[in-house]
Amino acid sequence: MNPALKLIAQRLALGALLLLAVSALIFAGTQILPGDVAQSILGQSATPESLANLREELGLNEPALTRYFDWLGGILVGDLGTALTSGADISEAVGKRLSATLFLASVAAVISIPLAILLGLVAVRYKDRWPDKLISASTLASISLPEFFIGYLLIVFFAVNLGWFPSLARINDGMSFFAKLEAVFLPALTLTLVVLAHMMRMTRAAILNVMQSAYIETAELKGLGSFKIIARHAFPNAIAPIINVVMLNMAYLVVGVVVVEVIFNYPGMGQYLVDHVSKRDVPVVQACGLIFAAIYIGLNLVADVVSILTNPRLRHPK
C-alpha cells in the first residue's frame, strides 16, 4: 500500500476513535452536572410524583451506559434528540444555527487568511525593518487581548461612536447577502483580529525557513526581485505548514465563536449552546458539544491529510 494512503487511512481511523472518545467524555460531563433536569423543567413547586413521572418519561431512570448507547445510536442515524425545555427537534434547530455560525466563520476566514498571508509576505520582504516590526507588534497586540475586550472595543468605536455598523449581529433568511455581511462585520472583524497574528507569524516563519535554501540564492544571483523570489519561489514551497496553521485557525473560527456570538447576540451555535446550558437542557448541550468536536477534529484531519499529500517523499516513495 502506498505510504501516503496508509498514513491517511491511519489518520482517519484515529480521528474516528478520537471522536468516539470525545462523545463519551461529553456524555459523562453532562451527567455529572449538578442539579436535576426534571426539577429545572418543572420548577421548584413540582410535586415528587410529577418529578418521578417526568424522569420516567425522559428515560432518566435508565442506567447511564444504556442512555449513552441510545444517544450514540440516534446520532449515527442523524437523530440528535429533542430539546427538553422546548420539545423542538434538535437536528432542525442545529441546522439553522450551524449555517449561521459557518457563515460568520467563512466571512472571518475570507478576511483573515489572505490578509495574514499578505502580511507574512510583506514581513519577510522587509525582515527586521520597520514594516516587519510594525506588523509583528500590531498583530501580537491584537492576539494578546481577550475576545470579549476586542468585541466591546469594536462596538464602542464602530457602532456607538461612528454608527457605521449595528452592535447586535442579527440575521435572518429574508435579509440580502450584503445586509448579512453588514450585520456580521463586527463579529467577523473580532475573530479576524484574534487569529490573524498566529497565521501571519507562521507564514513568516515558514517562508524564512525556505529562504535559506540554495535555490533561493540561485534566484537572487540571477537578479530576480526580492518580492518575486518570495512570492513565486519561497511561498509555494512553504505552503504545507501554512495550510496546517490555516486549518487549525479555521477550526478555531468555528469552535471558538461562543464568546463572540454571545457578545454580539448572534443567532449561531455558540449562542444556542449557552442558552441551553443555563436551562440545563442536556440533549442540546450534548449535541452542540459533539458537533463542535466533530468540526474541530475534521478540520485537523484535513490539515494532516494536506500535510501528507504535500510531502514528496510520501507521494513518490523510492
Residues of the chain above pLDDT 70, percent: 81
Side-chain-side CA neighbours of 196 within 13 Å: the count stands at 28
pLDDT recorded at residue 90: 80
Whether residue 198 is contained in a domain is answered as: yes
Mean predicted confidence (pLDDT) in 155-163:
83
In the predicted model, is pLDDT for residue 296 greater than 80? Answer: yes
Contacts of 128 (CB under 8 A, 6+ apart): none
Does 152 map to a domain?
yes
Span 40-51, average pLDDT: 64
Please say if the pLDDT value at position 300 is more than 60: yes
Q: Which three cell numbers stand for residue 58?
A: 425522559
In-domain check, residue 310: no
pLDDT averaged over the chain?
Answer: 77
Q: What is the CATH number of the domain that holds 99?
A: 1.10.3720.10
Position 126 pLDDT exceeds 70: yes
Confidence (pLDDT) at 124: 80
Say how far apart CA 64 and CA 67 lie, in whole Å: 5
Q: Flag whether 36 is in a domain.
A: no
Q: Which of 111, 120, 136 is nearest to 250 (CA)?
A: 111
Higher-pLDDT residue of 159, 44: 159
In a domain, 109, yes or no: yes
* CA–CA distance, 44 with 170 (Å, rounded to integer): 34
Model confidence at 7: pLDDT above 70: yes
Domain count, the chain: 1
Query: Do the beta carbons of residue 229 and residue 219 sit within 8 Å?
Result: yes
pLDDT attached to residue 46: 64
233 within a domain of the structure (yes/no)? yes
What residue numbers bound the domain in which 276 lies? Answer: 91-282
Question: Using an 8 Å Cβ cutoff, are 131 and 210 in contact?
Answer: no
Q: Which three cell numbers stand for residue 223?
A: 537578479
* Tens digit of each residue's pLDDT (9 = 90 or more) over 302-316: 877 777 776 666 555
| 239-258 pLDDT per residue, tens | 777 777 787 788 777 777 77
C-alpha cell at 204: 513568516
Q: Tell me: the pLDDT tens digits for 71-113?
A: 788 788 777 777 777 667 788 888 888 888 888 888 888 888 8
Q: What is the pLDDT of residue 60?
A: 66
Is 51 a domain residue? no
Q: Are 310 and 243 in contact (CB under 8 A)?
A: yes
CA 142 remoteness from chain centre = 18
Residue 45: what pLDDT? 63
Predicted confidence at residue 92, as pLDDT, reads 80
Higher pLDDT, 223 or 303: 303
For the chain, where are the alpha helices, taking DSSP H only? 3-31, 37-42, 48-58, 64-76, 90-125, 130-144, 147-154, 177-210, 214-221, 226-229, 235-237, 239-255, 258-263, 269-278, 282-309, 312-315
Task: With a cut of 60, say whether residue 317 has pLDDT above it.
Answer: no
Q: What is the pLDDT of residue 228?
A: 72
Residue 89, beta-bridge partner list: 82
Mean pLDDT to the nearest integer, 26-55:
67
Assess if residue 60 is contained within a domain: no
